[in-house]
Structure 1
Amino acid sequence: MIIRTPASDDASGAVAAMYEEDIAADGFVHSYTAAMAVNPEAHDAFVALVKAVVPSIGIRVYEAATLGAARAIGSSHCLVAHARKSMTAGVADEAGLRAFAADDDSAFTAAEQAVIHYAARLSSSPREMTDADAAALREHGFTDRQIVDITLAAGLRNHFSRSLLALAVPLDDDPLIATELATALQHRAERGAG
């Protein structure tokens, strides 16, 4: 990675808060957090947008949108991080996420699978999307607000994942997720859209 990230020892203010949050939650500072700490105001804006969409759709649907987008983009960072977050939140277990890495979404409900598909379409072929894509979400009972927030959740993942890829942010060896699952997700990311 060519950019220089703020060192933990010298961190203060918003950067120190970002690092402390990672350490409190996961025991270490993620490389993606360090990269985003170069512009902590932008990071705060991103977090605020996430907090604005989650209340209407809930964490399960948010994670489905996030994982669907990350898989389509081919983002190892976001697949690994959100697989871990999904397990912590009770969205999916390790076996379900291994299946997800193999393009089997059966660990998710039918509505969540529709969200995964929608997020993948937004991430890989947004110009081809039509009202039929949103109508598929409506068939699963999502409201107008929820459809907009699902779209925003997938769009936010595109912003974050593509930024990490463009900056060549190194992938952490995450001790909080099983090595076999992390490897399966990384291999899926390497295959890209599909």
Structure 2
Amino acid sequence: MSSAGFLSTPEPDEAARRLFDEDVADVGYVMNASRLWAYQPATMTGLFDLLGETAHGLTFRQRAVIVSACASAHGDSYCSLAWGSRLAGATDAETAAGVLRGDDGGLTDAERALAAWVRKVVRDPNRTTESDVRALRDNGFTDREVFAVTAFTALRLAFSTVNDALGARPDAAFRTSAPAAVLDAVTFGRPLDDA
């Protein structure tokens, strides 16, 4: 398996090289997901632009809760490690590991409602109910925010699905960059890359 998952790494065009350069500037290496999305870098850029537009108004911590709950409910180890690490930075490693395991005890009431909603959207969107939405409203979320959270979750799920289906493995760098509690909580999905 190559670092682009089940596909060979494409010959990078100018857009893919920009994607790779951004990775090197941000994290110091080219991420496996970027190697995969080098097939359609404009699609990844467009998706992330749409995610940014959809998440407008959500705090970084809320986005970290959403993506961590979404990725772990979906069984996506890559985004769970990436965003679980970010959530650990916004809270602490044990809280982030708990969210990845489905234990939201370290979160605020509003964040717990958010994580519960996200997991329902990921696992079985046809089983959500008016009372599920009411739980969000009772914790201060407006209908506009409920829509934004739901759309953001669905878009993150699309990103994870492409990565997972095409075999993108979490970057080897997570062995040293992710908190130990987050690494221990991610017992699902594809294993860490060997490279």
Same fold (TM over 0.5): yes
Give the share of equivalent positions with the same residue, in percent. 24
Distance in 2 separating the partners of 1:103 and 1:54: 22
**Cα pair 1:101 1:184 within 8 Å, conserved:** no
Q: Output the amino acid matched with 1:35.
A: L
**Superposition pairs for residues 98-117 of structure 1, below 5 Å?**
98-117=97-116
**Structure 2 unaligned regions, length at least 5:** 191-195
Figure out how many residues of one structure are paired with residues of the other and give that number: 184
Q: Report what 1:187 is aligned to.
A: 187
**Cα pair 2:97 2:185 within 8 Å, conserved:** yes
Q: TM-score, normalised by structure 2?
A: 0.86
Would you say 1:6 and 2:6 are equivalent positions? no
**Structure 1 unaligned regions, length at least 5:** none
Would you say 1:118 and 2:117 are equivalent positions? yes
Q: TM-score, normalised by structure 1?
A: 0.86
SS of equivalent to 2:177: coil
Q: Report what 2:139 is aligned to.
A: 140
**Cα pair 2:84 2:97 within 8 Å, conserved:** no
Instruction: Name the structure, 1 or 2, with higher relative contact order (CA <8 Å, separation 6+).
Output: 1
SS of equivalent to 1:187: coil
Comparing both structures, which one devotes a greater share of its residues to helix?
1
Alpha-carbon RMSD: 1.8
Q: Report what 2:80 is aligned to.
A: 79
Q: Report what 2:193 is aligned to.
A: none
Distance in 1 separating the partners of 2:185 and 2:40: 28
Q: Report what 2:127 is aligned to.
A: 128
Q: Output the amino acid matched with 2:99.
A: F
Distance in 1 separating the partners of 2:188 and 2:168: 18
Q: Output the amino acid matched with 2:112.
A: Q
